[in-house]
Amino acid sequence: MTGQVLDLASTVSPGRAAAPAQQRVSPSINVDRITVSYANGVPAIRDVSFTLGASTICALVGVNGSGKSTLFKTLMGFLTPLMGEVRIAGRPVDKALKRGLVAYVPQSEEVDWNFPVLVGDVVMMGRYGHMNFLRIPGKADRMAVDAALERVGMSEFRKSQIGELSGGQKKRVFLARALAQGSEIILLDEPFTGVDVKTESAIMDLLRSLRDDGRLMLVSTHNLGSIPDFCDQVVIINKTVLAYGPTETTFTEANLAEAFGGVLRHVHLGGAELHADADRRRVTVLTDDERPLVLYGERDHEKLVKPDRGETD
Ligand SMILES: Nc1ncnc2c1ncn2[C@@H]1O[C@H](COP(=O)(O)OP(=O)(O)OP(=O)(O)O)[C@@H](O)[C@H]1O
């Protein structure tokens, strides 16, 4: 999200009574023809529709200003659509938030890191929806925080100040908060910005394991080359949805060219430049200066090839 700095507490879903583990809700996001604007009245996104279900990691892709954060703010109930409707796990947004079904991992720039709080307390914020109004943690809350920190590999930092951590460590703490919350749906805004390749890979592994648990994750990212590695669905947006669906059929050069226009750099290799024989296949590299996307195919790059992580780092 752009344009505002949030304190840590305001980035946690205002859940009151999260669903107990034995009553897990099947996660889904249904966005039906929404138009959203800010105080100036100009629609930031219009007529946006898509549907996502359980066991999904979906990338949200688009140029700066295309409306990714606006969509997140709408899913988090900070903005209300002028038109259309959002349903989360079949419920209106406010009801889904009250049940703690949605957790949000913010962009680092949005958060006021001077807020003096320990890592363990940040993760405990994810439990607020499970506590009464006095917010006194019980055994179940402490166990959930322990398990969440363990799962993201941050147990040893429990007593550290959040502001002292690296970018990647902060992301992992927010993911732990989402896990402690028990949310079936996790929204991640630029989770790879400012993290090293090892941490990026650790975060992707964690997201895959959460997908295997049945969760739904929507991930906004400019890191195009990583998307085929870990996302099974893609929503491509530029004020409205240009394309959405399975990564293999949606994350194509044609759709990216439409979304990014001249913003992406294209490098095409083919013919004698690439082959010593008459092989007609071409390699295309698309990059907006984060991890490049490599497309390899005979005709219009139908086939996606995962970039060799070693070479692109
Ligand atoms: N607080 C605001 N008030 C008015 N207009 C805004 C506000 N925040 C965003 N916008 C406008 O809404 C549109 C979508 O912006 P948004 O921040 O959702 O894009 P984004 O895809 O998240 O961009 P980025 O990749 O840079 O984070 C832009 O035209 C932007 O100028």
Q: Where are the domains of the chain?
A: 8-251, 256-312
Residue 295 has pLDDT above 90, yes or no: no
Residue 20 has pLDDT above 70, yes or no: no
Residue 298 has pLDDT above 80, yes or no: no
Mean predicted confidence (pLDDT) in 224-252: 93
User: How many angstroms does the Cα of residue 61 sit away from the middle of ligand 1?
Assistant: 14
Mean predicted confidence (pLDDT) in 136-155: 92
- The CATH fold assigned to 8-251 is Rossmann fold (3.40.50)
For residues 194 and 168, the answer to whether their CB atoms sit within 8 Å is yes
- Taking CA atoms, 241 is separated from 33, 46, 225, 262, 273, in Å, by 10, 9, 20, 18, 36
The span from the CA of 191 to the CA of 198, in Å, is 13
Tell which atom from ligand 1 comes closest to the C-alpha of 71. 18
User: How many angstroms does the Cα of residue 107 sit away from the middle of ligand 1?
Assistant: 14
The CB of 80 under 6 Å from ligand 1? The reply is no
- State residue 308's pLDDT score: 45
Most confident range (mean pLDDT) of 106-110, 192-196, 265-269, 275-279 is 192-196
The CB of 223 under 6 Å from ligand 1? The reply is no
Residue 75 has pLDDT above 80, yes or no: yes
User: How many angstroms does the Cα of residue 69 sit away from the middle of ligand 1?
Assistant: 7
Q: What is the pTM assigned to this prediction?
A: 0.82
Q: Please, which pLDDT band fits residue 123 given cuts at 50, 70 and 90?
A: very high
The CB of 263 under 6 Å from ligand 1? The reply is no
Give the chain's mean pLDDT. Answer: 83
Side chain identity, residue 192: F
Q: Considering only residues 186 and 294, tell me which one the structure prediction assigns the higher pLDDT.
A: 186
- State residue 289's pLDDT score: 58
Q: Considering only residues 175 and 5, tell me which one the structure prediction assigns the higher pLDDT.
A: 175
Return the number of other C-beta atoms located less than 10 Å from residue 268's C-beta. 14
Identify the three-state secondary structure at position 249.
helix
- State residue 167's pLDDT score: 84
Q: Whose CA is nearest to atom 30 of ligand 1?
A: 65
User: How many angstroms does the Cα of residue 79 sit away from the middle of ligand 1?
Assistant: 12
Q: Whose CA is nearest to atom 13 of ligand 1?
A: 44
Beta bridge partners of 51: 30
Mutate to test the pocket of ligand 1, among 40, 69, 108, 288 (most ligand atoms within 8 A of CB): 69
Residue 93 has pLDDT above 90, yes or no: yes
Mean predicted confidence (pLDDT) in 246-274: 77
The CB of 68 under 6 Å from ligand 1? The reply is yes
Share of the chain above pLDDT 70, in %: 77
Q: Please, which pLDDT band fits residue 257 given cuts at 50, 70 and 90?
A: confident
- State residue 19's pLDDT score: 46
